[in-house]
């Protein structure tokens, strides 16, 4: 067939990720071309994501390229994907997950979270709320932009450290700046963190979808993300709501932890499930069931307060 055109954001990390997908496709015999653009989330760096528009701030323009036939597939960070997609689009593959945890990155070799006073740079409501709950003495400042921009702002003195996903730091070659790898049981990551989502038009021929899936999808990761995304969909949590969810395999069992924390960190509901020998369908159902348990255990009250605060 004609070459596959991949749509991607133009940030250094997004291009690294798209080139990694390109490598896998070309190893499978495809010819590829990248089309890189800036999304609204890349352009508006002086406001929080919640003020731009909660869903699809890093994906909407790429999705329009799929709808318009300008690209065959779009490469996204899975954590940027809204939990519900337009009817004419679908995720055809999830790539193998990188280490999923959050990390503290600092230009100060002796940095530790337990030091006081400490100023942490992050614009994530989940990370800010988690810090307020478990490390209330820590100050936070909003820092947006690509990783290189954030590191520059840190070095200029805006903060002592950055709270980031390990995956992006590692992929960009800044692992030497990691000072702490944070506990997954406390800093449970955003849904999808560490994996890439490959999105296509539903009108793409089924044979082509199957070929793309066969060379990009990592099935254990895909099953985990089906559970996580079903959980997020039921929780109705966008990037401005501090909802967290992480699924993993242990001895053929799927273990998922998920929850919600209030914006001030004072309230949290966290629960976990385990199922044996899961497939996509049972994983989705388990994610939905976990969300229902959380919502019925004061989670819905926390969620409504958050939504009210964000829209006030």
Catalytic sites, residue numbers:
79-80, 126-127, 144, 150, 239
CB atoms within 10 A of CB 264: 14
The owner of tokens 């699809």 is 56
Pairing of strands 102-105, 73-77: unpaired
Rounded to 5 degrees, φ, ψ at 121 are -90, 120
The total of other beta-carbon atoms located within 10 Å of residue 84's CB is 11
Helices (H), 102-218: 125-134, 147-155, 166-171, 206-216
Task: For the chain, give the number of residues.
Answer: 312
First to last CA, the chain: 52
Per-residue DSSP letter, 299: I
């Amino acid at each position: 067939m004609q070459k596959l055109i991949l749509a991607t954001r133009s940030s250094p990390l997004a291009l690294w990720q798209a080139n990694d997908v390109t490598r896998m496709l070309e190893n499978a015999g495809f010819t590829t071309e990248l089309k890189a653009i800036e999304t609204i989330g890349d352009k508006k760096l002086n406001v929080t994501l919640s003020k731009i528009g909660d869903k699809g701030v890093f994906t909407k323009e790429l999705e329009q390229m799929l709808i318009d036939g300008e690209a065959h597939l779009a490469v996204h960070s899975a954590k940027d994907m809204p939990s519900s997609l337009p009817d004419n689009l679908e995720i055809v593959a999830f790539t193998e997950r990188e280490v999923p945890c959050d990390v503290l990155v600092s230009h100060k070799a002796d940095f530790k979270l337990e030091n006081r006073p400490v100023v942490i740079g992050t614009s994530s409501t989940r990370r800010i709320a988690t810090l307020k709950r478990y490390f209330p003495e820590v100050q936070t400042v909003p820092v947006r932009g690509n990783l290189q921009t954030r590191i520059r702002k840190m070095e200029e003195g805006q903060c002592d450290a950055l709270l980031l996903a390990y995956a992006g730091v590692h992929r960009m070659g800044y692992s030497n700046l990691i000072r702490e790898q944070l506990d997954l049981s406390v800093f449970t990551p955003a849904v999808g963190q560490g994996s890439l989502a490959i999105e296509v038009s539903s009108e793409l021929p089924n044979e082509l979808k199957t070929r793309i899936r066969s060379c990009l999808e990592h099935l254990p990761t895909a099953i985990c993300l089906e559970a996580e995304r079903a959980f997020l969909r039921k929780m109705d949590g966008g990037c401005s709501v501090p909802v967290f969810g992480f699924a993993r395999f242990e001895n053929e069992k799927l273990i998922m932890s998920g929850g919600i924390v209030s914006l001030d960190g004072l309230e949290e509901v966290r629960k976990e499930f385990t199922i044996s020998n899961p497939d996509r369908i049972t994983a989705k159902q388990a994610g939905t069931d976990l969300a229902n348990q959380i919502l019925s255990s004061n989670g819905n009250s926390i969620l409504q307060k958050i939504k009210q605060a964000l829209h006030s």
